[in-house]
Chain A
Amino acid sequence: MSKGNLTRRGVLKTGAVAGAGLALPTYLSAASHEGFTNAPTGSTVTLGFNVPQSGPYADEGADELRAYELAVEHLNGEGDGGMLNTFSSKALQGNGILGKKVEYVTGDTQTKSDAARASAKSMIEKDGAVMITGGSSSGVAVAVQALCQEAGVIFMAGLTHSNDTTGKDKRANGFRHFFNSYMSGAALAPVLAANYGTDRKAYHLTADYNWGYTTEEAIRSSTEAMGWETIAAVKTPLTQTDFSSYIAPVLQSGADTLVLNHYGGNMVNSLTNAVQFGLRDKQVNGKDFQIIVPLYSRLMAKGAGANVKGIFGSTNWHWSLQDEGSKAFVQSFGTKYGFPPSQAAHTCYVQALLYADAVERAGSFAPCAVVEALEGFEFDGMGNGKTLYRADDHQCFKDVLVVKGKENPSSEFDLLEIVEVTPVEQVTYAPDHPQFAGGALGSCNNGA
């Protein structure tokens, strides 16, 4: 049956051929070296927009993509310029980035770490993207951020609220404009104390993943610091759609406040369930029962409908803000798409502009130059007032909005009202704060 035998010579030959095959790539690898990964050589530069186009956060992803397309238009000098006119840095000329026309590729993260990394990898390896941005989940943000660090490209995080993104999983090549769980807690606590008093008993329902944990921790520690008591904290699966079985025990527990550490579809369902169970009409311990949603977005408020009325939460940005930057952005977004942008769209738009501006100021696309330009960068006119990109953890520090579901919405977009703009000082923390401990930035990576 066998045609040939394994001889010593045969083995040696095969080994030599295999060895040569393995060595060939390294031999050839001197072919191209511009000093960093995907250095743009022609008249264009490619950015990678990696957003969820399917899965639970597809709505956010679609809005992010709209914002990126708008940002590309503005960077290339088309449209009305949007926030370029209000941005405090005037380095961008509307002629692309460093004179190169901005092009982009898109990918679908599916809100799965693996899929997001595969998509980002193909953008880097196949399409030559020099920067990756987007995403609507902390798990994805952390995974893609680590990938970009390895590959030597810049990652400008989209919507990611977990402390870990700029805490224990921070990376030198990654930057986050969005606020985080700690800031939500610090901003919400005083408002809650003023409205609901300082002796409440809270019951937490927490989405069972990274973001849920850090949000629960942040809200717990800031509410407990002002005198609240935490009765219980129950984790709910991310894929849960019916929360009745989790809501029922809340009333028996003696708690008078329910904190829903849920986002997106989770929050819409759990809040709806809670309201259907009549929690908000109940009286416990002589107080009206209250519900709190730490992270709010307009898209969620829309999903939950009338149930959000009067419920407190925090948000990164809201289209009804009246500063020049927000007005300019809402106007150009509204003109193009016919409705106001969400906070996800805002943060992604700003991230794209901030990256372009940093490249322009650094005079180079090299990641290390960009990192240097962004670290400690202070800017204004991007909708959140004065903002600082802190060098220690690449987190933006800016005012945080405390919002409340509007009692009498005037349109389908006018669902949240701003209760308070929490000043940046109140939400600033030390880089080595316990909720952020345990990670290291490392050093910037230019790749090869």
Chain B
Amino acid sequence: MFGLDKKDASLLLIVAALVAFAPFLLNPFPEGSAMAQFNAGYPDLMQRFVIFGIFAIGFNILFGLTGYLSFGHAAFLGVGSYAAVWMFKLLSMNVLPAIILAVITSGIFALVIGYVSLRRSGIYFSILTLAFAQMSFALAYSVLTPITGGETGLQLALDDPRIFGSATTAEGNIPVPGLFGLEMRDSSELVLGNWVFTFNVGYYFAAIVMLLSFYLAIRIFRSPFGMMLRAVKSNQQRLNYTGLNPRPYTLAAFVISGMYAGLAGGLMASMDPLAGAERMFWTASGEVVLMTILGGVGTLIGPVLGAGMIKYMENIISKINSDILHGWFAFLPDGLEDLVVTMIYPFIGKGWHLTLGIVFMLVVIFLPGGLVEGGQRVAKLFGRKKTDEPKSAKTEPAE
């Protein structure tokens, strides 16, 4: 189906189903229950899941296939966001031109940075990309403030031209991004008993884009081009000796991966029309590396899982405060309650980084293949009799 073999097609279908039913899957706990704290089915977070999924898929095309570890990928995300917001300011609030320009701009940007950085490999390449990203951050933060809005970020204003759309709504407000009149932030709620499920236009739009980019990534992974990239990863010298110049291939992979990041940036701006310089900071670049490694380098689904995991922790764990903890452990005797709360407290709220660090360490030590390997092991544990059925359709390491 769609030019994919059976295994990949079923993987794509599984991902599509997961994405389509995410509003249900992510809201397993009824409203008002103590566990509702762990519900993640609200539009902003669901959008983040798929957008960072795209970012990580793109990063994986470079890192997973060629083995080149870029430490500056957030720069492309930021460039994409700025480009998209500028389209909202100048052209119209339609998201399509914004996203297209975001992809093109970040592609050009990636071409320039990649052309220079790819002259080196290994750690030198990583440092070069890191340097370029930090340079872009510094430019966005304080030098190019007329273009980037500096520390405040680039925002829409009432007096923007928006030549193809209206500058203001009838009520005198800034219009919101939309797709031919379909507003990205429109949501509808489905109430079933105590459960509330939110369906958001922006989420489904981003989800469709994510599925398309996922499909494209599968095609790249399975193509002769993908094979070349794997050859670069396994032994570049040997490739050189056979008379092949790997540079065009790695550069192409770098640009594609930069465009994915730009696409993610454009989508982020479409969901929330503001572009801040922090998006380009080196910690943001590090985050996508974490996502990919956490999920499983070189696997198709891994980066998406990793992105989901990190965004979930960032948004859910970080919002648990000591009051909520006291609520949970109220059934314990007072002294014990305080003790338990004091023990858990460093790992929640602003301490979510600590929790993430521990999870990351555990994954790297015990599951070097990331969450995907975990899935594989579980699947092996409950091994099926039918051997030709894919052990776990989600799990297909690159090598």
Q: Which of B152-160, B246-254, B374-382, B384-392 contacts A (4 or more CB under 8 A)?
A: B152-160
Interchain nearest-CB distance for B336 vs A (Å): 24
Q: Does A146 sit at the interface, judged by CB under 8 A?
A: yes
In Å, the complex CA distance between A209 and B141 comes to 8
**Per a CB cutoff under 8 Å, which of A25, A26, A118, A143 touches B155?**
A143
Which of B44, B45, B174, B321 lies in contact with A106, CB distance below 8 A? B321
Looking at the assembled complex, report how far the CB atom of A237 sits from the nearest CB atom of chain B, in whole angstroms.
7
A442 touches B158 (CB 8 A): yes
Contact of A125 among B44, B157, B176 (CB under 8 A): B44
Q: Give the contact stretch, choosing among A2-10, A305-313, A318-326, A395-403.
A: A2-10
Report A142 CB to chain B, min CB distance, Å.
Answer: 5
Given contacts A21-B204, A53-B350, whether A122 and B44 have CB atoms under 8 Å apart is yes
A82 interface residue per 8 A CB criterion: no
Q: Which residue of B lies closest to A445 (CB)?
A: B173
CB of B200 closer than 8 Å to a CB of A: yes
Identify the stretch in B114-122, B185-193, B235-243, B302-310 within 8 Å (CB) of chain A at 4 or more residues: B185-193
CB of A122 within 8 A of CB of B2, answer no
Let me know if B399 is at the binding interface, CB within 8 A: no
Contact of B199 with A28 in the complex, beta carbons under 8 Å: yes
Q: Select from chain B the residue with minimum beta-carbon distance to A30.
A: B188
User: Which A residues between 1 and 32 are near B, CB-CB below 8 angstroms?
Assistant: 1-4, 6, 18, 21-22, 24-32
Residues of B within 8 A of A31 (CB): 188-191
**Which of A126, A147, A149, A439 lies at the interface centre, i.e. has the most chain B CB atoms within 10 A of its CB?**
A126
Q: Does B339 interact with chain A (Cβ within 8 Å)? A: no
Contact B155 A115 (CB under 8 A): no
B64 at the interface (CB under 8 A from A): no
B151 and A238: CB pair below 8 A?
A: yes
* CB-defined contacts of B199 to chain A, threshold 8 Å: 24-25, 28
Q: Are B173 and A142 in contact (CB under 8 A)?
A: no
A121 proximal to B (CB < 8 A): yes
Bound Cα distance from A108 to B353, whole angstroms: 13
Bound together, the chains give a CA A1 to CA B20 distance in angstroms of 27
Residues of A within 8 A of B48 (CB): 118
Which chain A residues border B5 with CB–CB below 8 Å? 1-3
A70 to B318, CA, bound (A): 22
Determine if B155 and A108 form an interchain contact, defined as CB atoms under 8 angstroms apart: no
Chain B contacts for A24, CB-based, 8 A: 199
Q: When the two chains form their complex, are residues B350 and A143 in contact, meaning their CB atoms are under 8 A apart?
A: no
Q: How far is the CB of B4 from chain A (nearest CB, A)?
A: 7
Q: Is B355 an interface residue (CB 8 A)?
A: no
Which of B270-278, B293-301, B364-372 lies at the binding interface? B270-278
Q: What is the bound-complex CA distance between A62 and B285, given in angstroms?
A: 29
**How many residues of chain B are within 8 Å of chain A by beta carbon?**
57
Known A3-B4, A125-B43; judge A114-B157 contact (CB<8 A).
Answer: no
Instruction: Please measure, in the bound complex, the distance between the C-alpha atom of A143 and the C-alpha atom of B186, giving whole angstroms.
Output: 21
Q: How far is the CB of A375 from chain B (nearest CB, A)?
A: 15
> Once the chains bind, are B350 and A108 in contact (CB under 8 Å)?
yes
Q: Which of A26, A53, A114, A142 has the most CB of B within 10 A?
A: A114
Q: How far is the CA of A440 from the CA of B4 in the complex (A)?
A: 53
Q: Does A113 contact B (CB under 8 A)?
A: yes
Which of B142, B189, B200, B279 makes the CB contact (< 8 A) with A114? Answer: B279
| Total A-B Cβ pairs within 8 A | 154
Given A21-B204, A209-B142, A238-B151, are A439 and B272 neighbors across the interface (CB < 8 Å)?
Answer: no
A107 to B321 alpha-carbon distance, docked (Å) = 9
Known: A25-B199, A121-B272, A164-B152. A442 touches B2 (CB 8 A): no
Whether B188 contacts A150 by the Cβ 8 Å rule is: no
Is the Cβ of A32 less than 8 Å from the Cβ of B189?
yes
Residue of A nearest to B43 (CB): A125
**What's the nearest-Cβ distance from chain A to residue B214, in Å?**
15
Question: How far is A147 from B158 in the complex, measured between Cα atoms in Å?
Answer: 14
Q: Who on chain B is nearest to A446 by CB? A: B171
Any B CB within 8 A of the CB of A185: no
Q: How far is the CA of A25 from the CA of B206 in the complex (A)?
A: 14
Establish whether residues B274 and A6, one from each chain, have CB atoms under 8 Å apart when the complex forms. Answer: no
Q: Decide: A146 near B274, CB < 8 A? Known: A24-B199, A28-B199.
A: yes
Chain B CB count within 10 A is highest, among A32, A53, A121, for: A121
Q: How does the 8 Å CB contact mask read for A162-195 relative to B, with 1 for contact and 0 for none? A: 0010001100100000000000000000000000
A/B interface sample: 7 pairs, CB < 8 A: A2-B3, A22-B201, A29-B186, A108-B318, A113-B274, A125-B43, A169-B152
10 tightest Cβ-Cβ pairs between the two chains A and B: A28-B188, A209-B151, A29-B188, A443-B172, A113-B276, A121-B44, A126-B42, A4-B1, A125-B42, A25-B199
B interface residues with partner A (beta carbon < 8 Å): 1-6, 9, 20, 39, 42-45, 48, 141-142, 150-153, 155-159, 168, 171-174, 176, 182, 185-191, 198-201, 204-205, 208, 272, 274, 276, 278-279, 315, 318-319, 321, 349-350
A interface residue numbers (CB < 8 A to B): 1-4, 6, 18, 21-22, 24-32, 53-54, 105-108, 112-115, 117-119, 121-122, 125-126, 138-139, 142-143, 146-147, 149-151, 164, 168-169, 172, 208-210, 235, 237-238, 438-440, 442-443, 445
| Further contacts, 15 of them, CB under 8 A, given A31-B189, A107-B319, A169-B152 | A4-B1, A25-B186, A27-B188, A30-B188, A106-B319, A114-B278, A114-B279, A125-B44, A143-B153, A147-B272, A149-B173, A150-B173, A440-B159, A443-B172, A443-B173
